[in-house]
Amino acid sequence: MPPRFSRLAARQLARPRGLLGGKAMDTLDRSNAGRIATCVEAAAPRKDATTADVGFGGGVGLRTLLDAGAGHVHGIELSSAARGRARKRFRAEIADGRLAVHEGTLQSMPLPDGTLDALISTNTVYFVPDLAPVATELARVLAPGGRAVLGIADSGRMREIGMPLHGFTLRPVDEIVEALTADGALRVVRRDQLDDIVDFTVLVLEPVT
Ligand SMILES: C[S@@+](CC[C@H](N)C(=O)[O-])C[C@H]1O[C@@H](n2cnc3c(N)ncnc32)[C@H](O)[C@@H]1O
């Protein structure tokens, strides 16, 4: 891909926007639906659980959490294009009070302490240069016994397959684990690697109580 297009594509992955944003989100939904379903399975929300998808992009994770029977889903996004798309696509679920769409990030979620039984966030950590505030925020919003499931593509594999990575912060999964558990507020309870084109890791964290 010529460098100019590669930069444009990377910008859409980091924060979908403008005319190309809809296409970028369609592609994200198509490519990541299976991986996101695996993350929702790992989060194992019980019926009526309060859940969130942080950085939901095209919104397939919101659909998957709703279909899994979660009682309430918080969709948290930095991108106004993604929030607008979710508000249109999930009008009925928002009206029913099953879904709320908020502006926010992994570092700052507009939720009270101890709100969430389960949270998923897939393909988002590459856009966070410093993970320490993410660890603090995840530990804050999770209820005791709650689970955060992060879905992370392998940085080496993303390079090998030629993904546009301009502006990404790429780290090995071990480094991400180290950063998220360093202050002792979170611990890893499960780590699986999918046998797919990006060696996708499903990392399950719980608050240390
Ligand atoms: C590559 S897309 C992934 C979307 C979706 N989770 C998926 O896996 O298909 C990254 C998403 O993360 C959002 N994002 C960017 N910075 C973020 C941050 N600091 N915290 C949470 N989400 C962020 C972007 O707006 C974008 O929608």
First to last CA, the chain: 48
Q: How far is the CA of 96 from the centre of ligand 1 (A)?
A: 26
pLDDT at residue 209, as a whole number:
86
- Please work out whether the CB of residue 123 comes within 6 Å of at least one atom of ligand 1: yes
Mean pLDDT, rounded, for 184-200 = 97
Q: How far apart are CA 153 and CA 63, in angstroms?
A: 21
Q: How far apart are CA 209 and CA 206, in angstroms?
A: 9
- Going by alpha carbons, the residue nearest to atom 22 of ligand 1 is 55
HEC readout, 109-133: CCCCCCCEEEEEEECCHHHCCCCHH
- The tens digit of pLDDT for each residue in 104-125 reads 999 999 999 999 999 999 999 9
Mean pLDDT, rounded, for 53-69 = 97
Q: How far is the CA of 56 from the centre of ligand 1 (A)?
A: 6
Q: How far apart are CA 43 and CA 37, in angstroms?
A: 10
- Going by alpha carbons, the residue nearest to atom 10 of ligand 1 is 124
pLDDT at residue 2, as a whole number:
63
Domains and CATH numbers, the chain: 3-207 (3.40.50.150)
Using the predicted structure, report yes or no on whether residue 94 has a pLDDT greater than 80: yes
- The tens digit of pLDDT for each residue in 1-56 reads 666 778 999 999 999 999 899 999 999 999 999 999 999 999 999 999 999 999 99
Other C-beta atoms closer than 10 Å to the C-beta of 99 total: 25
